Amino acid sequence: MTDDWTNVPSGILEFLPRKLHLQPNHPISITRQTIESRFPPSHFTHYNDLNPVVTTHQNFDSLGFPADHPGRSRSDTYYINASTCLRTHTSAHQAETFQSNAKSGYTITADVYRRDAIDRSHYPVFHQMEGARTWNRSKGDITADILADLNAIPSNDLVVEDDNPTVHAERNPLQLSHSAEEVEAVAAHLKRSIEDVVVAIFKHARDAALASEDASIRQEAEKPLRVRWIEAYFPFTSPSWELEVFWQGSWLELLGCGVVKQELLNNAGASNKIGWAFGIGLERIAMLLFSIPDIRLFWSTDKRFLSQFNESATLRRFVPFSKYPGAKRDISFWVRDQASAAGGGIPLSYHENDVMQIVRDVGGDLVESVALVDAFKHAKTSRMSYCYSINYRSLERMIPRSEANDLHNAIGEQLVAKLGVELR
């Protein structure tokens, strides 16, 4: 049932049945399976087919999002109606999974939806994996149990930089309900688990790099793999960390993780547990593993793309199609006077994500990127003017100049109709 909050276009709803993370021989699915393989079914349940339509309570309230959090806005989230939306993260299922999961750990892999920028690394649909592992504190001192589980994780030859203490009173505080000994053990288990995932992921990446014709790429791949742990802040964990990997000459942020906030476990009816959780974006990893340069490719049905991947074979570097030329067009407009009365469904305030969504609705995957190139305020009227550069480029065919012009004109018409702008 729709209402005034409804803002999800039909083009976004068409993605729901695709489920790339379950599609055989797809790079997103291969990446998921690579990571899942490091979390054995004896301890972990793998959830891969949870409904992407969730309540706002699941997506926000169960995780403690404040009422004024920007993620709740219609500019950031796709709403079915005021109480139902497309999940913006896998954590929308966290509370119910903590409550119902029969094993000590789980992973959730899912497609998630956000109104976002348009470029080669952003798409309104992408895939996340989160994982968690808990121990039952009602047994008494569980530190020895956690350390025993830690020793069961395979050792590796990573070069690890971890210079900060596990807990810092200001930067990475200990939760009041946790002992320092428990958290040290949980953190050690978490970090070893994630490092084991990194070894599995980058074994494939290094194999592909070593097969490269580029001598500098092969030389970099022969060096020992380095990772570093960075103190971080996340609303669902404390203490928290990000993991970075040194790859092809630069540090890459890979994932975020930490000790689960006790109130989340309490709200899920699991107050007797303590544990860790992590979250990772699969597109980022798959683009790295297969050297895929544009996120739009994951949604391609072109056999030239899909036929390059095989779950039973060694991961290979993606062989690009011939690169078709782009057609760049600029569009400038004055934002409507905010003091005037709103009408016709035109929003009271301007938000860049609304521009991005209109461009997506009209141009779809024929738009490679949208970038703000100029913004200024009129000295007398105080009205804001914006200029965006839109690059039209197909991954699969040449776009005729006339088609690019038609798309560009249609985008201008929709900006006027839906945002009330004045084209310049």
Residue 22, domain CATH: 3.30.930.10
**Which domain CATH number covers 378?**
3.30.70.380
Let me know whether 272 and 393 are in one domain: no
Residue type, 54: V
Tell me, yes or no, whether 1 lies in a domain: no
Let me know whether 381 and 283 are in one domain: no
Q: Coil, strand, or helix at residue 200?
A: helix
Let me know whether 230 and 165 are in one domain: yes
Let me know whether 294 and 402 are in one domain: no
Tell me, yes or no, whether 37 lies in a domain: yes
Let me know whether 355 and 263 are in one domain: no
Which of 241, 276, 306 terminates a domain? The answer is: 306
- For residue 371, give its domain range: 327-423
Which of 274, 306, 338 terminates a domain? The answer is: 306
How many angstroms separate the CA atoms of 354 and 51, rounded? 26
pLDDT at 402: 96
Tell me, yes or no, whether 57 lies in a domain: yes
CA atoms within 13 A on the CB side of 330: 9
pLDDT at 315: 53
Let me know whether 290 and 337 are in one domain: no
How many angstroms separate the CA atoms of 50 and 104, rounded? 19
Let me know whether 393 and 262 are in one domain: no
Let me know whether 14 and 131 are in one domain: yes
CA torsion, ordered 141, 94, 90, 262, to nearest 10 deg: -50
How many angstroms separate the CA atoms of 265 and 271, rounded? 5
pLDDT at 18: 96
Which of 256, 271, 306 terminates a domain? The answer is: 306
Residue 422 pairs in a beta bridge with: 334
Let me know whether 353 and 290 are in one domain: no
Tell me, yes or no, whether 204 lies in a domain: yes
How many angstroms separate the CA atoms of 172 and 178, rounded? 13
Let me know whether 286 and 344 are in one domain: no
Structure tokens at 297: 């490719």
Tell me, yes or no, whether 385 lies in a domain: yes
pLDDT at 207: 73
How many angstroms separate the CA atoms of 367 and 102, rounded? 45
Q: Over the chain, what is the mean pLDDT? A: 90
Q: pLDDT tens digit string along 178-190? A: 999 999 999 999 9
Tell me, yes or no, whether 76 lies in a domain: yes
pLDDT at 156: 87
Query: Residue 349 to residues 20, 42, 124, 313: CA-CA distances in angstroms?
Result: 35, 52, 21, 51
Let me know whether 20 and 148 are in one domain: yes
Q: Coil, strand, or helix at residue 405?
A: helix
Tell me, yes or no, whether 3 lies in a domain: no
Let me know whether 121 and 225 are in one domain: yes
Which phi and psi (to 5°) does residue 188 adopt? -65, -40
As separate numbers, helices (DSSP H) first and strands (DSSP E) second, the chain gives 12, 15
Tell me, yes or no, whether 352 lies in a domain: yes
Residue 86 pairs in a beta bridge with: 53
Beta-carbon count within 10 A of 62 CB: 20
Query: Hey, which bits of 39-186 come out as E strands?
Result: 44-47, 53-55, 79-81, 84-86, 105-113, 125-136, 159-161
pLDDT-flagged residues of the chain (< 50): 313, 341
Domain count, the chain: 2
